[in-house]
Each structure stands twice: as C-alpha cells, then as structure tokens.
Structure 1
Amino acid sequence: MTPSNVYHLTISLDESKIEADDDEREKETQRLFNELRKLDDIEDVQRVIDPEPPEGSKAIAGFFIGLLTAEVKPENIANLFRFLGDRLSNKEVSLTLSLGDDVLEVTARSREEFEFAMQQALIWTEQRNATST
C-alpha cells in the first residue's frame, strides 16, 4: 500500500459540549479508541500523546482527552463515518480528514450532520483520487 492510498482522520470530541469531568471524558475517549481498534475498516488508530503537558492540563497519562487519529483507505471512509455517527451522534465532534497537505474539516452534532459530513468526505476523497490518477 502506498502512503497516498491512506487518509488520515483526526477525531476530536469537543470537551466544551461533553458535560462530564475529565475522568468521564477519558473513559469515553478510551471506549471509542477500543471500538475503533476492532474495526476492519481502520488501518490504524492512535491516541494523541501530549509530549509536554503543561502543569494542571487536562491530559491524562500523557494523552490528550477526546483526541484520536486514524488511518483509513478511501473505500472505507463511508463505513467509518457511519460508525462514528452511530456512536457519537449526540456529541459535537470535529473531524479532520487529510491527504498530505490537503485537508477537509467538518463538524457533526447529530446523525443527520454525520451523514452530511460523510457525503462531504466522499466527494472530497473522490476529487483527490481523480487528481492522483
């Protein structure tokens, strides 16, 4: 697999919209991380490490709370967005899909917005694929 066949997705749970303390948000982040690791549609998923957490920060065990990265092939993007919509449709989620320096940023707060974000991502990836051939 060449690197251009893998898209990078950053998933950010908006902490200001999640009415929970840091421990609860950490559990939510860890639960999502574990679920994503089991998906066949994901090439890789990682927690984002804060290399120098400031004193009093909201980083737990050196990880940013509510922040994950994943690698996904273009043909699996729709399945991933559906999965995220099923799990996170009641939370505000920022998604950043990138291929090299080319970036698509979307935010979703409901199942309908996840569906719209998925459509945007599919159009965006089709355009990237068309320019790379």
Structure 2
Amino acid sequence: MSFESNVKLTIALSNPSLDAEEQERETRNLLREIKDLDVESAELVAVAQTPQGSKAFGGFLLGVLQAEVSIANFKKLLGFLGDRLGGKSIELEVEANGKKLKITASSQQELTAALEAAQKFVAVG
C-alpha cells in the first residue's frame, strides 16, 4: 500500500532574551507566515498538549507551534524555515511515516544540517 502522507512538524523557538509577550508575538508572526505557505494546517500548541517542563502563555505553549504539510510541500517549508530562523535556537520535531525525528539547532550552520537531516528522514520514510 503506497500513499503520500503528510509530515507533521513541531517547532519550538527558544530566545532567552525575549520576555513571554515578545516570544508569543514572534511565534504568532511565524505562524502567520507559515499559514501563507501551502500547508495543510498550522497552529499554536495548546496547553493540553504541554510537554513536561514547558512554559505556557495564554492557553498555549510559549514559543511552540505545529504545522502539517504534504510531502510535496515539505521541502518548501524547510526552505522557508531555513531562511526565517537562521541563527535562532529552535527545536524541531518531524513526524512522518509513523516515525519521529527530533533535532535542535542554535546557529545557521546547525539549522542547515538539521533541515538536511529532516529532509533525508522524510525521503527515506
């Protein structure tokens, strides 16, 4: 059985120099930009889904959003993230084909390597 499934991404932004409100604003801006791309869905992560040790703000996890995109548009989303988040500390969780890959990056170089790893992970399936 062969079918094209969607890829789920959880993106956690980490910027210790921002207060909670600034972090929330940055996350919402990123969410709005992702929604402008060709994604199936994109949303903030509700507190009900809170991983242990995470901070919540206004009913949502601080700095965390999720997006779901088709495999065909996954590369486009990764390219956008690479351009938009270069030099920022992020944690990215990619879920595809029933498997998960969790990667972190805190520089442009690490982000580039992380995005390449995510792309290979999805391609291998």
TM range (shorter): 0.7 to 0.9
Letter in 2 for 1:11: I
User: Against the structure 1 CA distance between its residues 124 and 52, is the aligned structure 2 distance closer, same or farther, given a 3 Å change threshold?
Assistant: closer
The equivalent residue for 1:10 is 10
SS at 1:126 equivalent: helix
The equivalent residue for 2:107 is 110
After superposition, residues 27-106 of structure 1 pair within 5 angstroms as 27-40=25-38, 42-51=39-48, 58-99=55-96, 101-106=98-103
Per-residue deviation, 1:120: 0.9
Structure possessing the higher radius of gyration over alpha carbons: 1
Structure 2: how far apart are the matches of 1:116 and 1:52? 28
User: Against the structure 1 CA distance between its residues 62 and 86, is the aligned structure 2 distance closer, same or farther, given a 3 Å change threshold?
Assistant: same
The equivalent residue for 2:17 is 19
Letter in 2 for 1:93: I
Structure 2: any 5+ residue segments left out of the alignment? Answer: none
Contact conserved, 1:86 with 1:111, CA < 8 A, in 2?
no
TM-score normalised according to structure 2 size? 0.84
| TM-superposition CA deviations, 1:18-68 (whole Å, max 9, x none) | 31111110111111111111112x211011111398xxx942221111000
Structure 1: how far apart are the matches of 2:99 and 2:49? 27
Q: How many residues align?
A: 121
* RMSD after superposition: 2.3
Structure 1: any 5+ residue segments left out of the alignment? Answer: 129-133
Question: Which of the pair is proportionally richer in strand?
Answer: 2
TM-score normalised according to structure 1 size? 0.79
Per-residue deviation, 1:3: 8.3
Q: Percent identity?
A: 35
Structure 1: how far apart are the matches of 2:32 and 2:3? 24
